[in-house]
């Protein structure tokens, strides 16, 4: 998962530990779409959390990501699949702001906030225009982003970076455990959220064996801002859902967009 390599240098396995959970229901949702389409391009595919379940539906899947470490983990996971399934998978290093794959797809997906790595309007438009050029005439582009909850934003705003620790995650890992401290700072003027993740691993005796800092910066989008972006890029909104069970759009939840040429 990466569209902004200078900002997102997460090692693949660190990403799975910290943020590899996704949004409840998203894997099933995208897998159903992939099965129906039969051919899918996933942008910012990361370590294959959504990619491989889509592949298992029988679809042919191309995954594109900017970070080699992410793709390495995805390939490692895919190696456990049978040869005929692996033959339907293509994993490519590439930038979702500018790519040329030489084919068109009936389905392009950008799951789990990946579009929000694009902080500048010129990059957002470049990505959407690339997607448009890679869609078949009846193809669909599906993007999942979060809808900014203004109450949470107001409560969490702190001057400067980093913000206070908002979450601590403890995970049991092979040979010990890992603790993740997550702090968040918000800039409503730029519509940007920045998180700092401190990941510390401990052996079975409780001794610290590594400590790494990762940063993640996301731009948030308002509903009509997205509609305007789609229109500027020659894309037509088919539907906006508020969740993976077909919920109506509501403030503070998901923005699950389906658009077409």
d(CA 214, CA 217): 10
Q: Find tokens 């959407």 and name the residue.
A: 128
Instruction: Please indicate, yes or no, if residue 91 is contained in any of the structural domains.
Output: yes
Instruction: Please indicate, yes or no, if residue 214 is contained in any of the structural domains.
Output: yes
Structural domain count of the chain: 2
Chain centroid to Cα 232, Å, comes to 23
The DSSP annotation for 119-130 comes to: -SHHHHHHHHHH
d(CA 59, CA 63): 12
* Same domain assignment for residues 68 and 182: no
157: CB partners within 8 A, 6+ apart: 186, 188
* Same domain assignment for residues 195 and 228: no
* Same domain assignment for residues 139 and 180: no
pLDDT of 181-194, one tens digit each? 988 889 989 999 99
* Same domain assignment for residues 34 and 86: yes
* Same domain assignment for residues 154 and 200: yes
* Same domain assignment for residues 130 and 36: yes
* Same domain assignment for residues 199 and 88: no
Would you say 60 and 38 are in contact if contact means Cβ atoms under 8 Å apart?
A: yes
CATH number of the domain at 67, please: 3.40.50.150
* Same domain assignment for residues 237 and 123: yes
The reported pLDDT for the residue numbered 164 is 64
The reported pLDDT for the residue numbered 174 is 79
d(CA 222, CA 213): 30
Instruction: Please indicate, yes or no, if residue 4 is contained in any of the structural domains.
Output: no
Beta-carbon count within 10 A of 167 CB: 11
d(CA 3, CA 44): 6
* Same domain assignment for residues 114 and 186: no
CA-based R_g, the chain, Å: 18
Determine the structural domain holding residue 169 and report its residue range.
150-219
Instruction: Please indicate, yes or no, if residue 228 is contained in any of the structural domains.
Output: yes
pLDDT of 176-222, one tens digit each? 898 989 888 899 899 999 999 899 989 999 999 989 888 999 999 99
* Same domain assignment for residues 78 and 17: yes
Phi, psi for residue 92 in degrees, rounded to 5: -125, 140
How big, in percent rounded to 5, are the helix, strand and coil portions of the chain? 30, 35, 35
CATH number of the domain at 194, please: 2.20.25
pLDDT of 106-124, one tens digit each? 999 999 999 999 999 999 9
Would you say 61 and 88 are in contact if contact means Cβ atoms under 8 Å apart?
A: yes
Instruction: Please indicate, yes or no, if residue 2 is contained in any of the structural domains.
Output: no
Instruction: Please indicate, yes or no, if residue 139 is contained in any of the structural domains.
Output: yes
* Same domain assignment for residues 95 and 123: yes
Q: Quick one: pLDDT band at residue 70, thresholds 50, 70, 90?
A: very high
* Same domain assignment for residues 144 and 155: no
pLDDT of 19-64, one tens digit each? 778 999 999 999 999 999 999 999 999 999 999 999 999 999 999 9
Instruction: Please indicate, yes or no, if residue 5 is contained in any of the structural domains.
Output: no
Instruction: Please indicate, yes or no, if residue 7 is contained in any of the structural domains.
Output: no
80: CB partners within 8 A, 6+ apart: none
Would you say 203 and 179 are in contact if contact means Cβ atoms under 8 Å apart?
A: no
């Amino acid at each position: 998962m990466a569209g902004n390599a200078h900002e997102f240098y997460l090692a693949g396995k660190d990403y799975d530990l910290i943020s590899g959970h996704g949004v409840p229901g998203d894997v099933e949702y995208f897998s159903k779409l992939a099965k129906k389409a039969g051919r899918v391009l996933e942008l910012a595919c990361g370590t294959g959390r959504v990619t491989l379940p889509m592949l298992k539906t029988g679809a042919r899947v191309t995954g594109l990501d900017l970070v080699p470490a992410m793709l390495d983990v995805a390939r490692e996971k895919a190696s456990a699949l049978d040869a005929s399934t692996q033959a339907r998978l293509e994993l490519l290093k590439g930038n979702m702001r500018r790519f040329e794959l030489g084919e068109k797809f009936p389905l392009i997906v950008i799951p789990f906030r990946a579009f929000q790595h694009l902080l500048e309007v010129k990059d957002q438009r470049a990505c959407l225009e690339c997607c448009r050029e890679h869609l078949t005439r009846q193809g669909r582009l599906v993007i999942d982003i979060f809808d900014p909850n203004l109450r949470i934003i107001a409560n969490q705003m702190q001057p400067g970076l980093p913000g206070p620790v908002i979450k601590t995650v403890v995970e049991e890992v092979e040979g010990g455990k890992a603790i993740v401290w997550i702090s968040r700072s918000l800039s409503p003027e730029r519509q940007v959220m920045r998180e700092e993740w401190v990941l510390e691993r401990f052996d079975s005796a409780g001794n610290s064996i590594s400590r790494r800092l990762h940063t993640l910066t996301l731009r948030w989008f308002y509903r009509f801002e997205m509609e305007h972006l789609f229109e500027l890029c020659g894309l037509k909104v088919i539907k906006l859902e508020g969740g993976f069970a077909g919920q109506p759009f509501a403030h503070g939840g998901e923005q699950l967009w389906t658009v077409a040429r």
